[in-house]
Amino acid sequence: MAYELNVAHLYGDLLNTYGDNGNLLALGYYAKQMGVELKTTVISLDDKFDPSDWDIVFFGGGQDFEQSIVSKDIQNKKEDLTSYIEDGGPMLAICGGYQLLGHYYIGADGEKIKGISALDHYTLSQDNNRFIGDIVIKNPDSGDEYHGFENHNGMTFLGEGEKPLGIVEEGHGNNDKDNSEGVVYKNVYGSYFHGPILTRNGNLAKKILLTALKRKYPDADLSKQEALEIQPTF
């Protein structure tokens, strides 16, 4: 393969609800078509996250119990993750992972689960309710449409410098109040989509891969990769 990208799978052994790991399979599938080999490593409890080692970070969703374990450990990686993000490192964070990039998440039993405040959102919990079902969103800047399935108790509210991944056309999204779903901040994409998001939305997989390639190989001619046609799978 002409290119190689190193993927950090944050807490991949703890956070993997609803088959979120499938995002890595989808990423690998599109990477292969782009002549890219992906090397994935799980970075978990007590491991060091060195921002210079990674080209893509994937951070999946989890139950409140696992999230509270991760919440404690991730404080030790807070500075390095923040500098990776601020430096334009590409990242996909789903549900629990998305929540932990923000300030905090109030779990279903009222426990405050601390995030790393790398992004400016916060997440409250709903009383005895979850947002579950099919969801369709559209990004107002790119016109990209994303289809998926959401299942979360948390209600996330975006903050300074954060844009939604899309405006809700069908479903609940971040909080069922402001029509937003997910987040885009620099090259970080956060979302409540399970299913997993990249299997049904190859357009997003392509975007993440291209961003990582341009960052790692700034002088490469990526016109072939840019031209890769993604067939919608929804």
Residue 49, token pair as written in the block: 């996250």
172 among known catalytic residues: no
Whether 95 sits among the annotated catalytic residues: the reply is yes
Please pick, among 95, 103, 121, 152, the residue that the annotation labels catalytic.
95
**Cis check: omega of the bond before 232, within 30 degrees of 0:** no
**Dist CA 11 CA 13 (whole Å):** 5
Which 8-state DSSP code applies to residue 92?
A: E
Stretch that binds ligand GLN, among 29-37, 43-51, 62-70, 164-172 (CB under 6 A): 62-70
Tell me how crowded residue 226 is: count the other CB atoms within 10 A of its CB. Answer: 12
- Which one of 62, 148, 171, 196 is in contact with ligand GLN (CB under 6 A)? 62
Closer residue to ligand GLN (CB): 103 or 152? 152
* From 117, 151, 179, 203, residue interacting with ligand GLN (rule: CB under 6 A): 151
What's the closest the beta carbon of residue 225 comes to ligand GLN, in angstroms?
31
| Distance, CA of 22 to CA of 18 (rounded, Å) | 9
Q: Total binding residues for ligand GLN by CB under 6 A?
A: 12
Question: Are 184 and 165 within 8 A, CB to CB?
Answer: yes
**Binding region for ligand GLN (CB under 6 A):** 17, 61-64, 67, 95-96, 151-154
Mind telling me the catalytic residues?
95, 194
